[in-house]
Chains A and B, each alone.
Chain A
Amino acid sequence: MKALHVFWLRFANTFKKEKSDRSFDEELEAHLQMHTDENIRKGMSPAEARRNALIKLGGIEQTKEIYRDRKSLPVLDVFVQDLRYGVRMLRKNPGFTAVAVLSLALGIGANTTIFTVINATLLGTLPVHEPSRLVELDTIDKQTFVTSARSEKLGMSFPNFQDYRRDNQVFTDLAAFQAAPVTWSGTAEPREVTAELVSANYFDVLGIRPLHGRFFLPDEDTKPNGNDVAVISYYFWANKLGSDPGVVGKPLIFNSRPYTIVGISPRGFKGTQTFLGPEQVWIPTSMKDQILVGKEKDYFNERRALLVACFGRLKPGVDLPAAEASLKTMAAHLESEFPGDNRGRSVALTPLTETAMGANEHQRLVLAGGLMMGIVGLVLLIACVNLANLLLAQGARRQKEICLRAALGAARSRIVRQMLTESMLLALAGGAAGLAFAYAGRSILWSLRPVFVQESGIVLSLDSHVLLFTLGVAILTGLIFGLVPAIKASRPDLMDTLKSGGRGGTMGWRRDPVRSLLVVGEMALALVALISAGLFLHSMQNAQKINLGFESKNLLVLNFNLGALHYDEGRGQQFFRAAVEHIQASPGVASASIASNAPFGGGFLRTVFPEGRDETSGYRGTLTQINDISPNYFETLRIPLVNGRTFNEGDRKETAAVAIVTEAMARQQWPHENALGKRFHFIGDAALREIVGIAANSVVNEVGEEEQPLIYLPMTQDYVPAATLQVRSASDPETALATTRAALQSLDPNLAITNVFTIEQILSQALWAPRMGGILLSVFGALALVLSAVGVYGVLSYSVNQQTREIGLRMALGAQRRDVLRLVLGQGLRLTVIGLAIGVVVALTVTRLLVSLLFDVRAYDPATYTAVTALLTAVAVVACYIPARRAMRTDPMVALRYD
Chain B
Amino acid sequence: MSDKEKMDVWQGTLALMILKTLETLGPLHGYGIARRIEQTSGDLLAVNYGTLYPALLKLEQEGHIASEWGQSDNNRKAKFYKLTRAGRKLLDREERDWEQTTAILARFLTPGKESA
Q: Which residues of A approach B to under 8 Å, CB–CB?
A: 2, 5-6, 9-10, 24, 26-28, 30-31, 33-35, 37, 56-60, 62-63, 66-67, 70-71
Contacts of B78 in A (CB 8 A): 27, 30-31, 34
- Contacting A at CB under 8 A, from B77-116, are 77-79
5 contacts between A and B (CB under 8 A): A2-B62, A33-B76, A59-B50, A63-B51, A70-B54
Taking CB as reference atom, which chain B residue is nearest A32?
B31
Find chain A residues with CB under 8 A from B34 CB.
Answer: 31
- If over half of A's interface residues share one DSSP class (helix, strand or loop), that class is named, otherwise mixed; here it is helix
Q: Tell whether, in the assembled complex, residue B57 and residue A30 are in contact, meaning their CB atoms are under 8 Å apart.
A: no
Supposing A31-B30, A31-B31 touch, asked if A60 and B50 sit within 8 A by C-beta, the answer is yes
When chains A and B are docked, how far (Å) is the Cα of A680 from the Cα of B40? Answer: 114
Specify the chain A residue showing the minimal Cβ separation from B46: A56
B53, B72, B74: most-surrounded residue (chain A CB, <10 A): B53
Among A2, A33, A34, A63, point to the contact of B50 (Cβ < 8 A): A63
Max chain B C-beta neighbours (<10 A), residue from A24, A27, A60, A66: A27
Instruction: Out of B49, B58, B72, name the residue touching A58 (CB < 8 Å).
Output: B49
Q: Are A27 and B30 in contact (CB under 8 A)?
A: yes
CB within 8 Å of A: which B14-47 residues: 29-32, 34
Note all chain B residues with C-beta closer than 8 A to A58.
Answer: 48-51
Q: Across the interface, name the chain A residue whose C-beta is closest to B72.
A: A34
- Report A-chain residues with C-beta under 8 Å of the C-beta of B77: 26, 30
Query: When the two chains form their complex, are residues A70 and B51 in contact, meaning their CB atoms are under 8 A apart?
Result: no
Most buried by B among A5, A34, A70: A34
Do B61 and A30 have beta carbons less than 8 Å apart? no
Number of B residues with CB within 8 Å of any CB on chain A: 22
Contact A34 B31 (CB under 8 A): yes
A66: chain B residues at CB < 8 Å are: 51, 54
Task: Count A-B contacts at CB 8 Å.
Answer: 70
B53 touches A28 (CB 8 A): yes
Specify which chain A residues have a CB less than 8 angstroms from the CB of B51 in the assembled complex: 58, 63, 66
Q: How far is the CA of A56 from the CA of B32 in the complex (A)?
A: 14
Known: A70-B54, A70-B57. A30 touches B48 (CB 8 A): no
- Chain B's closest residue to A59 (CB) is B50
A28 to B48, CA, bound (A): 13
Are A2 and B53 in touch, CB under 8 angstroms?
no
Given contacts A31-B31, A35-B31, contact A67 B61 (CB under 8 A): no
For residue B58, which residues in chain A have a CB less than 8 angstroms away from its CB? 70
In the complex, are the beta carbons of A9 and B30 less than 8 A apart? no
Q: Which residues of A contact B50 (CB under 8 A)?
A: 57-60, 62-63
Contacts of A30 in B (CB 8 A): 29, 31, 72, 76-79
With A27-B78, A66-B54 given, name 7 new contacts (CB 8 A): A5-B63, A6-B62, A26-B79, A31-B31, A37-B74, A63-B51, A63-B53
Closest to A5 in B: B63
**Are A10 and B29 in touch, CB under 8 angstroms?**
no
Q: Closest approach, in angstroms, between the C-beta of A53 and any C-beta of chain B?
A: 9
CB distance from A349 to the nearest CB of B (A): 57
Complex Cα gap A62–B51 (Å): 9
List residues of chain B with CB within 8 A of the CB of A6. 61-62
In the assembled complex, the CB of A3 is this many whole angstroms from the nearest CB of chain B, namely 9
By the criterion CB–CB under 8 Å, are B49 and A71 in contact?
no
A36 to chain B, nearest CB (A): 10
Closest to A28 in B: B53
How far apart are A714's CB and chain B's nearest CB, in angstroms?
Answer: 91
Interface centre among B31, B53, B78 (most CB of A within 10 A): B31
Determine the chain B residues whose CB is within 8 A of the CB of A27 once the complex forms. Answer: 30, 53, 78-79
Q: In angstroms, how far is the closest chain B Cβ from the Cβ of A58? A: 3
Residue of B nearest to A60 (CB): B50
Give chain B residues whose Cβ lies under 8 Å from the Cβ of A10: 61
In the complex formed, the residue of B with least CB distance to A63 is B50
- Min distance, Cβ A49 to any Cβ of chain B, angstroms: 14
Q: Could you tell me the distance between the alpha carbons of A30 and B32 in the complex, rounded to whole angstroms?
A: 11
